[in-house]
Structure 1
Amino acid sequence: MATTPEEFFIKGLMEQSQPSPPFFLDLPQKSNGRSEGYHHVPNDMMLPFISRVLLEDDIDDDKLNDHPALLQMLRESNNHTGDKKRNDRDNHMEEQIRTSKAAKRINDPEENCANEMLDELMLRAYETCIKGMEELRVSMDNKMEKENRKKFNKAVKDNVVDIRTLLISCAQAMATNNHMGACELLKKIKKHASATGDVTQRVAQCFTKGLEARLVGTGSQLWQLLMAERLSIVEFLKAYRLYFAACCFNKVALSFSTMTIFHAMVGKRKLHVVDYGMHFGFQWAGLLRLLASREGDQPELKSCPAERIEELGCRLSKCAHEFGLASFKFHTIMKKWEDVRIEDLNTDADEVLVVNDLFSFNTLMDESVFFDRQSPRDTVLNNINKMRPDVFIQSVLNCSCGSSFLTRFREVMSYYIAIFDMLDATTPRESESRVVLEQFVLGRPALNIIACEGPDLVERPEKYRQWQVRNQRAGLRQLPLKSRIVEAVKDTVRKHHHKDFLICEDGQWLLQGWMGRVLFAHSTWVAQDTSSQ
């Protein structure tokens, strides 16, 4: 089995202190009182879970331009006298169809493929990543790929249309309520946008749905309709695997979190992790694997608010069992994030308390919505301060929504061009998974940011310096970066990734980016009156 960078780091820590425990799982019992069987949970429980989380449908490239959800909204905007009862009945029938389709797909051959991919991502993540990186290198070095890129780049140079300027001009027209001008510009953009084109063409393709929805005034409704679409599980997992292999962003975030947790556990024997936004639980597989290799008493993992508890717990349970962990405790708190307090955690005096945020807090509402009282964003940070964790690990998207639509649009366009440019340098242009990743997985947040306002604006990232001020205002104190952790992740990026990836420090922040543009930032915090160790 390959040795991960984290394992090299852990070996150094273990030479300094007694080893800390391997993990265990003790899920809350079901109503029938059974507590056995959790160690042999089949993936068929996990697939419906991911299917419900995705809430998407199978896609094809034809849907990328004139999206049926948008066409539906246009039809509805011309007829505001619909029968509510009829709509409720239609919605109920649609939900029944979705449920039936999800149930039928369990025994589908596609689900067998999804099962294998889940095992790879959860149980053999490091090996899967290395394999994916090598496959991408081979694809990018392919003679045919290089020739196609040369031809494509020549065609792009011959095309004098400046799509970036068109996008900005369209956003400016919308900001000044020049609907006719915006409509004409949008038509031009759509002529040159392409899901398989160059970087700006792909970004334009990604942004057109949001601009179109905003223009016709159906942004929030379209967002809700798109959230009701289904992307196949296999397509999502392929896109996730591609992103993990193509860039270092998630790998560095997970390594930084894992190594920070192990550093906090030096000389300790009990671990309690509070995780905001566990998503699919992929991020904890590496931690479970490392803990399984240690000796001593076993630590306890408790998760902060999460939905779909049973499937998530079962998936982590299977992962723990496969790694040989006797048990670990999985505790959930069914509350809004801003309502979670120290009293809900059932902490023990002898445990290491770690609070973790992996790019999740950007969805918390800020003071632009809750201007008359403390925002959920500040409330969560204040509550974390009161928890007095041994360490609060924060990873943020370095992008600002700004106060106006035009400012927000410029910032998001710059951010997405950097992300798409990175993918263009590391991933074949004809990759179907790349299209899914760009236009759907990454495209949905862009649509929300462009099309929606007020409470419907779900994605609200901030620059890392803004988070620093916000955290300090909540009573948190930033910790210095651990030099050994920083050097470990830097060494991995330099050895295994594209030369244009940025990995550096700014004060007490670890920064990641592309071609000089900072895209992600990582830091660690404690309560202001907590002594540093």
Structure 2
Amino acid sequence: MTSQTTSQWSFGSLKSVSDNVNGPMDSFASSNIVSNIFSGSESILQFNRGVEEGSKFLPSNNQLIIDVESYTFRPELKEGSPEVLVKVEKDDVENSPNGPRGRKNHQREDSNFEEERSSKQSAAYVEEDELCEMFDRYLLCTDETGQPGFCDIDEEEQIEVTKASQRNGQPNGSSGGKTRAKKQGNKKKVVDLRTLLINCAQSVIAGDSRTANEQLKQIRQHSSPSGDGSQRLADVFANCLEARLAGTGSQIYAALASKRMSAVDTLKAYQLYLSACPFMKFSIFFANRMIADLAMKSAKKKLHIIDFGILHGFQWPILVQHLSCLPGGPPELRITGIEMPLSGFRPAELVEETGRRLAKYCERFKVQFQYHAIARKWETIKIEDLNIFNDEVLAVNCLFRFKNLLDDTVAENSPRDAVLKLIRKMNPDIFVHTVVNGSYNIPFFVTRFREALFHYSSLFDMIDNNMPREDQQRTIFEQEFYGREIMNVIACEGSERVERPETYKQWQARNMRAGFRILTLKQELVKKARGKVKRDHHKDFMIDEDGQWLLQGWKGRIFCASSCWVIA
């Protein structure tokens, strides 16, 4: 703005202020006063003298008058200098406490906004770079010659975890966690936390809140989220009993379920679990090997995988890597990723993001790729939604996620049976089915509580024997994954209880009723899995087979089972 417009604004403002304060002024008197100020020769002479002396202190090119529309900023000012801005703000604060505070605040806010936006963008790029690096490190593998190979674990990572376990007094085949627990038991009074938890569950279901609160208080004294396996287990179960007692289980679980972990944090916890426990990686190894062998033997040059519960797609990068190395060249790959819809305006955001990430791997390994994302309730999907063609090998895959479908006890038309009927209509060349082997899908609360307690007691014992207690990722895994599941099992009922595992024998009967026939288990895969468990993992891990199911467990308890099916 020019000095003329500034003067007009100033005196106009002054007039409006005086009108408001002193009331209306006579127009003649007002004009007389103004004329006396500017018309006297003495006043004009003094004014000119002041301007002349004041001009000596002004720059020659008068940079104080700026025409905003025609003024061009210097390049260095366009780029900005945060250091200079910070310094000016500091000087203004120290030397001019009564200065133009409004303008200073605007400068500081604009600077902070630009800095925050820049830092957020940088953080996004850093997270994406970190995620790509972690995917390469944990989800791909190379053989001894450095070439892509078809393996299921990162051998170097496993060696490091084994060394860490040995340093913590937990060598393979030992019971380090139990030894520490016994030493602690000599100093403190031994408490049977399982019995306390079961008694508390009985008080909760009986509505005896006073007794239940006293029992919870006693459990709290002997539980800890950072203690040994039994203490961590008791802490999680006590939280769930407290939520059920207060009637807030559904709200707490909904909040936990809606909380989205970033792919980086999920992969870090997932990697720790892979390194310490073989369940997930052998299930992935089994599924990928069966699908890859089928694609290699088929004369068709297209492979279509329909994945129920694809989530972040951790299973597929290594399969893409393996397909790229096939002697006759890789087949065209098409993946239909199916997930439950997210709440909000973008229900398919997660599954679409997974597709973009997998597309980068296919481009990297030169595998032709198409992706179709579906985010709907699985029982509402129709055969027409899947775009199945006759010139492709069709593989249907589901790892551990059928347990989240409602069963006959809740819905009249069981979603489990509906999805199995849909798969039968697809007529797949192979249906790879891996299930959580659990018997805590029972309507009666105390019985369900007891079965869940035994199941997760073994899991927490397994973690305690194979993961360092001070590892932050272990705590995240226990709280974010197991803690959320247990909250649903203990504190939710009806259609809100979505953690409903069945035993592998129950699933076998259900699959056969739906019209499937189980395929013969390949003994070479069983032999290889047993060898890797014996060589790389704790002696209490077990690999077994029963009725063409590949079983995995810990200390005699079976946790998961894998099998392959075709239409009968």
Write out aligned runs for 1:493-508 (5 A). 493-508=533-548
Q: Deviations over 1:152-187 (max 9, x none)?
A: 531134431111111111111122222222111111
Write out aligned runs for 1:221-300 (5 A). 221-229=251-259, 231=261, 234-265=264-295, 266-269=297-300, 270-294=302-326, 295-296=328-329, 298-300=331-333
In the alignment, does 2:201 pair up with 1:181?
A: no
- For the 8 Å contact 1:386–1:527, the answer to whether it is kept is no
Aligned to 1:96: none
Aligned to 1:350: 391
Equivalent residue of 1:287, what SS?
helix
Aligned to 2:133: 116
1:153 counterpart letter in structure 2: K
TM-score, length-scaled by structure 2: 0.70
Task: Say which is worse superposed, 255-264 or 296-305, in terms of deviation.
Answer: 296-305
One of 174, 177, 182 as aligned partner of 1:153: 182
Aligned to 2:234: 204
1:210 counterpart letter in structure 2: C
Q: CA, structure 1 residues 142+172, in 2 after alignment: closer, same or farther (shift >3 Å)?
A: same
Structure 2 distance, partners of 1:418, 1:104, is 43
In the alignment, does 2:186 pair up with 1:139?
A: no
Aligned to 2:380: 339
Task: Say which is worse superposed, 463-472 or 144-153, in terms of deviation.
Answer: 144-153
Aligned to 2:353: 311
Aligned to 2:334: 301
Structure 1 distance, partners of 2:537, 2:262, is 29
Q: Deviations over 1:25-58 (max 9, x none)?
A: xxxxxxxxxxxxxxxxxxxxxxxxxxxxxxxxxx
Structure 2 distance, partners of 1:445, 1:357, is 19
- For the 8 Å contact 2:219–2:234, the answer to whether it is kept is yes
- For the 8 Å contact 1:205–1:439, the answer to whether it is kept is no
Q: CA, structure 1 residues 319+374, in 2 after alignment: closer, same or farther (shift >3 Å)?
A: same
Structure 2 distance, partners of 1:128, 1:264, is 22
Tell me by how many angstroms 1:494 deviates: 2.1
Q: Deviations over 1:91-120 (max 9, x none)?
A: xxxxxxxxx999667348666544532442
Q: Deviations over 1:240-259 (max 9, x none)?
A: 11001001001110011011
Larger radius of gyration: 2
Structure 2 distance, partners of 1:186, 1:150, is 27
Equivalent residue of 1:365, what SS?
coil
2:545 counterpart letter in structure 1: E
Equivalent residue of 1:302, what SS?
strand
- For the 8 Å contact 1:246–1:423, the answer to whether it is kept is yes
Structure 1 distance, partners of 2:261, 2:337, is 27
- For the 8 Å contact 1:427–1:434, the answer to whether it is kept is yes
Structure 2 distance, partners of 1:166, 1:486, is 40
Equivalent residue of 2:543, what SS?
strand
Structure 1 distance, partners of 2:559, 2:458, is 8
Structure 2 distance, partners of 1:476, 1:173, is 44
1:332 counterpart letter in structure 2: A
TM-score, length-scaled by structure 1: 0.75
Tell me by how many angstroms 1:276 deviates: 0.3
Q: Deviations over 1:435-458 (max 9, x none)?
A: 111122221111111110011112
Q: Deviations over 1:306-337 (max 9, x none)?
A: 43243111100112223x22421212345431
In the alignment, does 2:480 pair up with 1:449?
A: no
Tell me by how many angstroms 1:197 deviates: 1.3
In the alignment, does 2:413 pair up with 1:374?
A: yes
Highest relative contact order (Cα 8 Å, sep 6+), 1 or 2?
A: 1
Q: CA, structure 1 residues 518+457, in 2 after alignment: closer, same or farther (shift >3 Å)?
A: same
Q: Deviations over 1:105-151 (max 9, x none)?
A: 73486665445324423445969732221121111211677999855
Structure 1 distance, partners of 2:207, 2:464, is 35
Aligned to 1:521: 561
Structure 1 distance, partners of 2:191, 2:543, is 34
Equivalent residue of 1:271, what SS?
strand
1:133 counterpart letter in structure 2: Q
1:207 counterpart letter in structure 2: F
Write out aligned runs for 1:8-23 (5 A). none
Aligned to 2:345: none
2:489 counterpart letter in structure 1: I
- For the 8 Å contact 1:206–1:443, the answer to whether it is kept is yes
Tell me by how many angstroms 1:363 deviates: 0.6
- For the 8 Å contact 2:287–2:432, the answer to whether it is kept is yes
Structure 2 distance, partners of 1:229, 1:402, is 27
Aligned to 2:368: 327
Structure 2 distance, partners of 1:434, 1:356, is 28
Task: Say which is worse superposed, 117-126 or 186-195, in terms of deviation.
Answer: 117-126
One of 377, 380, 396 as aligned partner of 2:435: 396
Structure 1 distance, partners of 2:406, 2:517, is 23
- For the 8 Å contact 2:323–2:330, the answer to whether it is kept is no
- For the 8 Å contact 2:388–2:426, the answer to whether it is kept is no
Percent identity between matched residues is 42
One of 398, 402, 408 as aligned partner of 2:448: 408
Q: CA, structure 1 residues 299+490, in 2 after alignment: closer, same or farther (shift >3 Å)?
A: farther
Aligned to 2:155: 130
Aligned to 1:422: 462
One of 210, 213, 216 as aligned partner of 2:243: 213
- For the 8 Å contact 1:121–1:282, the answer to whether it is kept is no
Tell me by how many angstroms 1:274 deviates: 0.8
Equivalent residue of 1:510, what SS?
strand
Q: CA, structure 1 residues 232+340, in 2 after alignment: closer, same or farther (shift >3 Å)?
A: closer
Aligned residues: 426
2:307 counterpart letter in structure 1: D
Equivalent residue of 1:392, what SS?
strand
Q: CA, structure 1 residues 187+101, in 2 after alignment: closer, same or farther (shift >3 Å)?
A: farther
Aligned to 1:385: 424
1:358 counterpart letter in structure 2: L
Structure 1 distance, partners of 2:248, 2:118, is 28
